[in-house]
């Protein structure tokens, strides 16, 4: 520090002030959004005895729990009783004490500070869960508009499979508990699904980001325990790739998943391992779908933190993500030649930081952006109707 020049000290001070300003600005934005949602009466109501069709409602689950110990609830929409989408929400992941101590806030997002998972549900998280993309009830472009939905919300950092009370020290130095309660939340959510939608004919089990990982982990249980008579079932993971050589230890010792889940993890690719286990048990019982952008800016930042302890994305780590995606798609296709893929190279100014988008199924680009002239909405709608095909796989050619 003594050898640091005046210029370097001024630069460091300016950076620190910039981070503080960005954090405060982000928190201000979050508070403003939440205030607007509440004041304009846009918060979803608790499910009434006689709900309206095609309207989103909240269902509070007394046995549910968010990561910070606060309330937990899911969202449901009453539509066609024969068509049911069970959607697993994303929202980051915590795989050790460091990540557990850094939950997401809008302030941290704005400042580019490490932030790994949402640890509670609040008005701003409603935007992440309903009324966008596949959950949009206002757009005629959404082919799933009239479907019934159960959105299994996510605020536990455990890919929906955890069952543990995890002690950690917060950034402020306080002893805290992260409630890895995702699996219990899932079970309580499925009780609601079965009560509201007892006998659907077509089922789509889908998830984005952290929810994408949950699809191969939990779909077998959904069918066996809740919908064993269903014949037409499609599985769809949107953006579920994060390589880490300690996933098995994380699942067993940190999340405390049930044995069947952690024992099936044998490599650094948890999604691929879970799909191998699922396909080995159920084979062609399901249709299988996977999507990703080719250089996901957010998942590449998570991977960079795992490998280099740097929570940021750049061209180098985005290219590594692309290489890993090529290998994963090849492996999934070898597992099941009927696997359908939607690969895109969509970018959003000021967001994707030189890379490509992170998830699309529940974003504005779902029914508006095209790859090879086809929207994800059309591709997914065709797939659930039995017409499974690939889009954008030419992006995975080795350069």
Span 128-160, pLDDT tens digits: 999 999 999 999 999 999 999 999 999 999 999
Q: What are phi and psi of 18, to 5 degrees?
A: -65, -40
pLDDT at residue number 78: 98
pLDDT at residue number 8: 45
pLDDT at residue number 35: 60
Average pLDDT, the chain: 92
pLDDT at residue number 17: 37
Span 62-106, pLDDT tens digits: 999 999 999 999 999 999 999 999 999 999 999 999 999 999 987
Series of mean pLDDT values for 10-residue runs along the chain (399 residues) = 46 39 48 57 89 98 98 98 98 97 84 90 93 96 98 98 97 96 98 98 98 98 97 98 98 98 98 98 98 98 96 97 98 98 96 96 97 98 98 89
pLDDT at residue number 14: 39
Domains of the chain: 43-396 (3.40.50)
């Amino acid at each position: 520090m003594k050898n640091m020049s005046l210029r370097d000290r001024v630069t460091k001070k300016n950076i620190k002030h910039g981070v503080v300003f960005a954090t405060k600005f982000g928190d201000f934005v979050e508070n403003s959004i939440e205030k607007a949602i509440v004041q304009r009466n846009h918060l979803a109501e608790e499910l009434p005895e006689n709900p309206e069709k095609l309207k989103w409602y909240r269902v509070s689950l007394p046995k549910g729990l968010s990561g910070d110990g606060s309330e937990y609830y899911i969202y449901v929409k009453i539509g066609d009783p024969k068509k049911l989408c069970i959607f697993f929400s994303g929202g980051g992941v915590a795989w050790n004490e460091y990540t557990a101590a850094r939950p997401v806030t809008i302030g941290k997002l704005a400042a580019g500070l490490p932030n790994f998972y949402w640890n509670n549900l609040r008005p701003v998280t409603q935007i992440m869960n309903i009324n966008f993309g596949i959950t949009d009830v206002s757009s005629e472009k959404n082919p799933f508009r009239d479907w019934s939905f159960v959105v299994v919300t996510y605020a536990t950092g455990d890919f929906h499979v955890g069952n543990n009370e995890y002690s950690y020290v917060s950034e402020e130095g306080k002893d805290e508990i992260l409630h890895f309660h995702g699996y219990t939340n899932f079970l309580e959510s499925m009780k609601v699904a079965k009560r509201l939608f007892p006998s659907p004919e077509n089922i789509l089990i889908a998830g984005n980001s952290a929810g994408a990982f949950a699809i191969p982990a939990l779909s077998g249980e959904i069918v066996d325990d809740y919908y064993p008579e269903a014949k037409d079932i499609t599985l769809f993971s949107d953006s579920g790739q994060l390589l880490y050589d300690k996933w098995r230890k994380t699942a067993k010792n940190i999340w405390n998943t049930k044995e069947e889940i952690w024992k099936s993890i044998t490599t650094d690719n948890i999604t691929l391992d879970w799909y191998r286990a699922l396909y080995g048990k159920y084979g062609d019982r399901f249709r299988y779908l996977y999507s990703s952008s080719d250089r996901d800016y957010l998942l590449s930042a998570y991977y960079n933190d795992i490998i280099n302890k740097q929570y940021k994305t750049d061209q180098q780590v985005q290219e590594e993500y692309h290489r890993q995606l090529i290998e994963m798609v090849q492996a999934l296709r070898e597992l099941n030649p009927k696997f359908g893929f939607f690969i895109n190279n969509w970018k959003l100014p000021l967001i994707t930081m030189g890379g490509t988008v992170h998830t699309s199924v529940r974003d504005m680009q779902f029914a508006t952006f095209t790859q090879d002239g086809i929207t994800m909405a059309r591709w997914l709608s065709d797939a659930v109707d039995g017409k499974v095909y690939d889009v954008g796989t030419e992006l995975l050619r080795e350069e």
